[in-house]
Structure 1
Amino acid sequence: MNHSPRLFQLDALRGLAAMAIMLFHLDLVYRIHGPFVRGYLFVDMFFLLSGFVLAVSTERKLKAGIGALAFTRDRFVRLWPLVAVGAGVATARAFAIGMADPLTLLLWLALDLAMIPSFSGTGPFYRYNGPQWTLFYELLANFLHALVLRKVPTRWMLALALALGVALIVTVRMHGSDTMGVDAPTWDTWWMGLPRVGWSYVLGVWMGRKYKDGVRGPALPWWLTLALPVVAIALVPRLPLRVAHGDLVFVMGFLPLAVWAVAQSRPPKALKPAFEWFGNYSLPLYCVHLTVLVWISELLGRAAWVQATAVGAAMLLAFVFSRLISFKGRPTRGKPDLAPTG
């Protein structure tokens, strides 16, 4: 059986998103007020990419009879190394700084490794590693995709995405920014992450189906399509809009167009190994960087040289884990006659 080529330009986009999120956390931890203060919006792109690539690569298998539980189990097995790496590094810091007694720390580690969120109502969604919350919602979206979304006709998928978009607008305006899902849920807030994940993921599924059906638009130079999201995230804070409204413009107006432009771009095939490596490298980087940034700030302060050291240490640790553990990226395969060949 011939396998269709990966849309490796999406791997590069995922890598750029992970770098921007790391720089957002650098801004948050070290209070530098740099250009990536809204880098958290690239989390929404992760969900959009997930829906897109699974629609392109996996829906045929889902429609062939893979059960929702079996599919979600396979996805969990694929993502769990990220959970283990992120929680493991964060646990080392917790023991080093004496965050709690050893038995409590081990209990927290067991709960995080089992993907059981914190229901304390305070602090992060997971006890150790904040970015792990996105993996929980990705698995939830995958489960609902296999259970329900695969049965939704394409003509109704956009309507469902738009309904979730309305919910997202209401939620972001209520919350004040598009940062829902990060904090531990309460009885009042447990639902607020769902519109954020739902809008991007469902729209991504619709876009992936249209791409798979051969829909195309004008193609931009590949390097420009990858540069535009990075430039745009730096420009969002400069918009004459409140934070909530600027976030919505970026997530609902810009991100879908940006992902579509990258998907149909045609980078040189010579870049494929580098782009695929960058996409896979982004996974451990996403999961370890925040702990490293915080830990080094606690040890050395917030000077400029410390910031550079923290970023370098996070990238180096992620590289080590990328070599020690197989972090296979999400499948991004297209039809042989439709995938970019330039």
Structure 2
Amino acid sequence: MLEHPRRTFRTLDGMRGAAAFAVMTHHAGWLFGPLHMRHAYMAVDLFFVLSGFVLAFAYQARFEAGMSAAAFMRMRLIRLYPLYLLGIVFSGAWIAFNLFFQREVFLAQTQSWTWEQFRTSLLHSIFFLPSPTLGAGPPALYPLNIAAWSLLFELVINGVYALLWRWLTPRVLVALVTVSAIWLGWDSLHHGSLNHGWTWNGVGVALSRVCFSFFAGVLIHFVAQRLSASMRVSPYVLIALMLVLLYVKPPAPFLGVYDLLCAIVLFPLLVLLGTRTEPGTRAQAVFAFSGLVSYALYAVHYPLIFVATDALLALGLDAGNLGPWSGLVFSVLVIAGCWLLDRFYDVPLRAVLSPRPAQRAFTR
């Protein structure tokens, strides 16, 4: 029998928020200095596992009660699109500002934006579509906000799940996860790492990453309910271990194996154990806040990094010599801003977009 969908998983909230912070340090290593988490590109795999578990937990019963795939996907778009769009708007405003004043644009590792390239990318991004290759810098799927690539594949796998959920028994999931693990293993060992997926030539790796991790999360939904209640690990230990895995990056010859180990063993295990433990009463609010700001932090941090860096340069300051203090100050400002965005932008907008009051609680 399924657990009540209103149950919260505060340990998973804490893991999600800490992982989003790690991604931000990865994209802004020059601001964070020694706190730069060089292996945080693997946080995406953790996010996919979390997504698979949470969506299976929240929607399995509703699918059984008659929810359609179209209704589910509408709710997922309502959840993801507002903050995704805001990240695109932030990037678009920054690029337009620099183009207008004929300044170099340091965004998406592309320094030679033109108005035509900008318009093309902006038009595609508004409709959540990947941008055609711009011809300068890496062929990013979303050059206006590189982090958005994982949101595209999140929606793709959500659609697959919505169509196939009735056939996803534990046995089918085991087979699906096994095949996906072999596919993922080939990609990781062939490419030497799993740091691929955000460019056009990495689409295959992105698919293997999301297929394995998402359905591993769905499988965890079935497995977690059958675990002994004594299988508990402190949530602080789990988050600390997760951060160590996102911080430590071995030499290139071992990176592919290490990435694969994290993706197919360690991250699913951390999520599984995270479903079985909760922080103490005093820490509940901190963990809840971490989960609250996590998506906004992931969706909008990338363009803000370059705005902050350029602001420091305008003040005559070298961001590379200020880390980690510049990164910590930046983090406080961005996290506070994400809380405001959640309260005054994302939640009200999703309430308006949700077609019925009964559905609004489920787009959170």
TM-score clears 0.5? yes
Q: Give the conservation status (yes or no) of the 8 Å contact 1:297–1:306.
A: no
Q: CA deviation at 1:214?
A: 5.7
Amino acid across the alignment from 1:138: E
Q: Is 1:112 matched with 2:125?
A: yes
Instruction: Tell me which residue corresponds to 1:190.
Output: 203
Q: CA deviation at 1:39?
A: 0.8
Q: CA deviation at 1:309?
A: 4.7
Instruction: Tell me which residue corresponds to 1:18.
Output: 20
For 1:297 and 1:331, how far apart are their aligned partners in 2?
A: 37
Q: CA deviation at 1:87?
A: 0.6
Amino acid across the alignment from 1:14: R
Cα distance 1:216–1:332, how it changes in 2: closer, same or farther (>3 A)?
farther
Q: Give the conservation status (yes or no) of the 8 Å contact 2:5–2:57.
A: no
RMSD: 2.8
For 2:362 and 2:263, how far apart are their aligned partners in 1?
A: 23
Q: Is 1:83 matched with 2:95?
A: no
Matched length: 327
For 1:204 and 1:323, how far apart are their aligned partners in 2?
A: 28
Q: CA deviation at 1:25?
A: 1.2
Q: Give the conservation status (yes or no) of the 8 Å contact 1:12–1:278.
A: yes
Aligned with 1:229 (options 235, 242, 245)? 242
Aligned with 1:289 (options 291, 301, 316)? 301
Q: CA deviation at 1:51?
A: 0.3
For 1:175 and 1:240, how far apart are their aligned partners in 2?
A: 11
Cα distance 1:292–1:169, how it changes in 2: closer, same or farther (>3 A)?
same
Q: Give the conservation status (yes or no) of the 8 Å contact 2:177–2:215.
A: yes
Show the 5 A alignment for 1:154-303.
154-183=170-199, 185-186=200-201, 189-213=202-226, 218-234=231-247, 236-238=248-250, 242-299=254-311, 300=313, 301-302=318-319, 303=321
Cα distance 1:323–1:81, how it changes in 2: closer, same or farther (>3 A)?
same
Amino acid across the alignment from 1:190: V
Instruction: Tell me which residue corresponds to 2:341.
Output: 321
Q: Give the conservation status (yes or no) of the 8 Å contact 1:6–1:332.
A: no
Amino acid across the alignment from 1:37: R
Give SS of 2:204's match. coil
- TM, length-normalised to structure 2: 0.81
For 1:126 and 1:71, how far apart are their aligned partners in 2?
A: 25
Greater mean alpha carbon deviation, residues 16-25 or residues 214-223: 214-223
Q: Give the conservation status (yes or no) of the 8 Å contact 2:235–2:279.
A: yes
Amino acid across the alignment from 1:81: P
Amino acid across the alignment from 1:74: M
- Determine which structure has the larger helix proportion and give its number: 2
Q: Give the conservation status (yes or no) of the 8 Å contact 1:22–1:289.
A: yes
